[in-house]
């Protein structure tokens, strides 16, 4: 089992992740990032690479995929909070995502390209 991040580790590690779009989840010791890819294939490719890394780390994300959008939450369920595993997986996901668009305001509705096209037709 891994330990929760210390206060010092949080101060040292979380700001850099915040710069890439990871944000705290209200009411939960977790990080969330919403990525918007150009299409479903790019989103799926990202998820495949992330899944292989998750297996390697034996640490798995909570995520949702809707067409081109991948909404990821990271926390370590065994200790009910953030650990070094979450930091390592977040960094790997950032590498895999490259310059993909990030929805930084998590209070806004998340909509995929399909949903955006459908609303324009209505």
Which token pair is 113?
């390209």
Q: How many domains does the chain have?
A: 1
From first CA to last CA, the distance across the chain in angstroms is 51
Query: Would you say 33 and 93 are in contact if contact means Cβ atoms under 8 Å apart?
Result: yes
Query: Would you say 30 and 77 are in contact if contact means Cβ atoms under 8 Å apart?
Result: no
64 located within any domain: yes
Tell me, what CATH number does 60's domain have?
3.30.1360.20
2 located within any domain: no
In DSSP terms, which residues pair with 103 in a beta bridge?
34
49 located within any domain: yes
Query: Would you say 110 and 69 are in contact if contact means Cβ atoms under 8 Å apart?
Result: yes
pLDDT tens for 78-88 read 999 999 999 99
pLDDT tens for 5-26 read 999 999 999 999 999 999 999 9
pLDDT tens for 58-117 read 999 999 999 999 999 999 999 999 999 999 999 999 999 999 999 999 999 998 988 777
The pLDDT value recorded for residue 113 is: 84
1 located within any domain: no
Q: What is the pTM of this model?
A: 0.93
Domain with 102, as residue range(s), is 7-120
């Amino acid at each position: 089992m891994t330990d929760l991040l210390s206060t010092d580790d949080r101060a040292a590690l979380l700001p850099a992740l915040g710069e890439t779009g990871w944000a705290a989840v209200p009411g939960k010791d977790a990080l969330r990032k919403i990525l918007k890819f150009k299409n479903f294939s790019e989103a799926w490719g990202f998820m495949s690479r992330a899944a292989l890394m998750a297996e390697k780390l034996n640490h798995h994300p909570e995520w949702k995929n809707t067409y081109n959008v991948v909404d990821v939450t990271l926390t370590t369920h065994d200790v009910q909070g953030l650990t070094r595993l979450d930091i390592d997986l977040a960094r790997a996901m950032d590498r895999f995502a490259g310059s993909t668009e990030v929805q930084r305001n998590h209070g806004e509705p998340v909509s995929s390209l399909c949903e955006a096209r459908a609303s324009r037709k209505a």
